[in-house]
Structures are given as structure tokens and as C-alpha cells.
């Protein structure tokens, strides 16, 4: 199994509070991703990173920020959590993601966030 | 607009039958295609990937790709109850550094 650890695995918080989810990898992969998964929507990309301090937005980035200060860590922050951000959040990593031979994604175990 | 569409199901097949899962995508220039399996409460795991038109077989699984029709499918032969899961189709659209996922098809294999 790919070495990906997400923390916390479960969190309940209140509307308006800040939340940070952490993804840690031991594979030294270049690309790291944050997806959210909701019923009826599938997996949707929030943000991704293609190197230290190199990040880009995904399709549902509003209300989220990310940081990657080290190859192995990718943080997802909700500055002021809302009930619509209640979801399961998955971190994923990939060795490469360009060209015809695109690499696969390896997923962490997920973090279930409930915003009351 | 980058879209990946799957029939959400549920799809029910008897044990030993062939399960057929389908996926269409919006961008004719898409490069690579993936099928992930996700058990309830677990993370997605890769079953197969396919880059070229035609069929690719791996054990009981066959992926089929038709780029002209923008269609990719997954066949599961000799379906087992342990195959009961949600199957996610994912596409790397040309020039993108990530995968776009369909909403998944829930498969139930009935013993």
C-alpha cells in the first residue's frame, strides 16, 4: 500500500471555525491532491500540488486553501467552515500526470468532516 | 466543460454472470482512462487503466476503449459477491494534471 496518512480521520466542528486537514506521504511522489466526495457528485478536485510551494485550483476550490512546504506534506485549510463543506475528504498522490502515460492516483483513507 | 458520466445504478447481477459498467466522457482529446473500485467506507483503489483503443484484459476484468465514441467500459467476468462495490470511471483530459471522476456505478453481485 502507498504510504499516505490523513489526519484527522474524523472531525466534528461548528460553522465558522477554521479546520486544517493534513496529508502525509512517504513515497516522495511529486503530485498531491485533495478531493472531496459527496453523494451524487462523486470525487471532485479541490486543489492539487505539483511540487513544493506549487499549487493550483481544482473545480471546487472556493472556501479552501492549501499549502505544501515539504514534499511529504499537503495541508487543506477551511478558513471558516460551512455546513456545505461537510464531506469526506481524500488525499491522493501520483508520481507523474502528464503525457500519454499518465500515472495512477493512490488514495489515503479519507477524512470525514462534519460541520454543524 | 470536462465531464465524465456513468449510470449510478444500482446494477445487480447474479454470481457468475458478466457485469458491464459503462462510462462516457466529454473531451475527444483525452489521453488515459482508469477504473477504480471503492468499497463502502473505504478509499478508491485502481483496478485497471487503458490508453489505447481496443480491449485490455487483466484476470476477470476487461477494459474497453473507443476514443471515437468517447466511451470506456469495464467488464467483470464470473462476478463474485466480493465484487460488490462502487466502480468509478476516471479520465485524464488532455493537458490536465489530474483525474476527473464520474459519480460511480454501484454494483451488487447476488449469491
Distance of CA B26 to the CA centre of its chain: 15
- Position A40 scores a pLDDT of 85
A44 at B interface, C-beta within 8 A:
yes
Measured CA distances, A59 to A69, A90, B96 (Å): 23, 15, 12
- Position A55 scores a pLDDT of 95
Task: Decide if A90 and B102 are in contact by the 8 Å CB cutoff.
Answer: no
Task: Decide if A107 and B45 are in contact by the 8 Å CB cutoff.
Answer: yes
Q: How confident is the model over B48-73, as pLDDT tens digits?
A: 999 889 999 999 999 999 999 999 99
Q: Are A80 and A17 in contact (CB under 8 A)?
A: yes
β A111-115/A10-13 pair status: parallel
B103 at A interface, C-beta within 8 A:
yes
- The answer to whether residue A100 scores a pLDDT higher than 60 is no
Number of cross-chain residue pairs from A and B with Cβ atoms under 8 Å apart: 58
Q: How far is A31 from chain B (nearest CA, A)?
A: 9
B99 at A interface, C-beta within 8 A:
yes
B7 at A interface, C-beta within 8 A:
no
Cα R_g (chain A), whole angstroms: 13
- Position B7 scores a pLDDT of 86
- Position B60 scores a pLDDT of 97
- Position A9 scores a pLDDT of 97
Task: Decide if A42 and B102 are in contact by the 8 Å CB cutoff.
Answer: yes
Q: Are B40 and B27 in contact (CB under 8 A)?
A: no
Q: How confident is the model over A45-60, as pLDDT tens digits?
A: 999 999 999 999 999 9
Instruction: Give the mean pLDDT of A33-38.
Output: 97
Closest residue in B to A48 (Cα) is B98
Q: How confident is the model over B10-34, as pLDDT tens digits?
A: 999 999 999 999 999 998 777 789 9
- The answer to whether residue A109 scores a pLDDT higher than 80 is yes
- The answer to whether residue A99 scores a pLDDT higher than 60 is no
- Position B28 scores a pLDDT of 78
Task: Decide if A31 and B46 are in contact by the 8 Å CB cutoff.
Answer: no
Give percent of chain A with pLDDT exceeding 70: 92
Q: Are A114 and A12 in contact (CB under 8 A)?
A: yes
Q: How confident is the model over A74-96, as pLDDT tens digits?
A: 999 999 999 999 999 999 999 87
B45 at A interface, C-beta within 8 A:
yes
In chain B, residues with a C-beta closer than 8 Å to the C-beta of A106 are 46
Give the residue from B1, B98, B100, B105 with the most A CB atoms within 10 Å of its CB, the best one to mutate.
B98
Closest by Cβ to B46, choosing from A50, A98, A104: A104
- Whose grid coordinates read 463502502? B40
Amino acid at each position: 500500500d502507498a504510504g499516505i496518512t490523513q489526519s484527522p480521520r474524523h472531525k466534528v466542528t461548528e460553522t465558522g471555525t477554521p479546520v486544517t486537514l493534513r496529508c502525509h506521504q512517504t513515497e516522495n511522489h511529486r503530485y498531491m491532491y485533495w478531493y472531496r466526495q459527496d453523494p451524487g457528485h462523486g470525487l471532485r478536485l479541490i486543489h492539487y500540488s505539483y511540487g513544493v510551494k506549487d499549487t493550483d485550483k481544482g473545480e471546487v476550490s472556493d472556501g479552501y486553501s492549501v499549502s505544501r512546504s515539504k514534499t511529504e506534506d499537503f495541508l487543506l485549510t477551511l478558513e471558516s467552515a460551512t455546513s456545505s463543506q461537510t464531506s469526506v475528504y481524500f488525499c491522493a498522490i501520483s508520481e507523474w500526470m502528464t503525457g500519454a502515460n499518465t500515472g495512477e492516483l493512490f488514495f489515503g483513507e479519507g477524512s470525514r468532516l462534519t460541520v454543524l | 466543460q470536462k465531464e465524465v458520466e456513468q449510470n449510478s445504478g444500482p446494477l445487480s447481477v447474479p454470481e457468475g454472470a458478466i457485469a458491464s459498467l459503462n462510462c462516457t466522457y466529454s473531451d475527444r482529446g483525452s489521453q488515459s482512462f482508469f477504473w477504480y473500485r471503492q468499497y463502502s467506507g473505504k478509499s478508491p483503489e485502481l483496478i485497471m487503466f487503458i490508453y489505447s483503443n481496443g480491449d485490455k484484459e487483466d484476470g476477470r476484468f476487461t477494459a474497453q476503449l473507443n476514443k471515437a465514441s468517447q466511451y470506456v467500459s469495464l467488464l467483470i467476468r464470473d462476478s463474485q459477491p466480493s465484487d460488490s462495490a462502487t466502480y468509478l470511471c476516471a479520465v485524464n483530459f488532455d493537458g490536465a494534471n489530474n483525474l476527473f471522476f464520474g459519480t460511480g456505478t454501484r454494483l451488487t453481485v447476488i449469491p
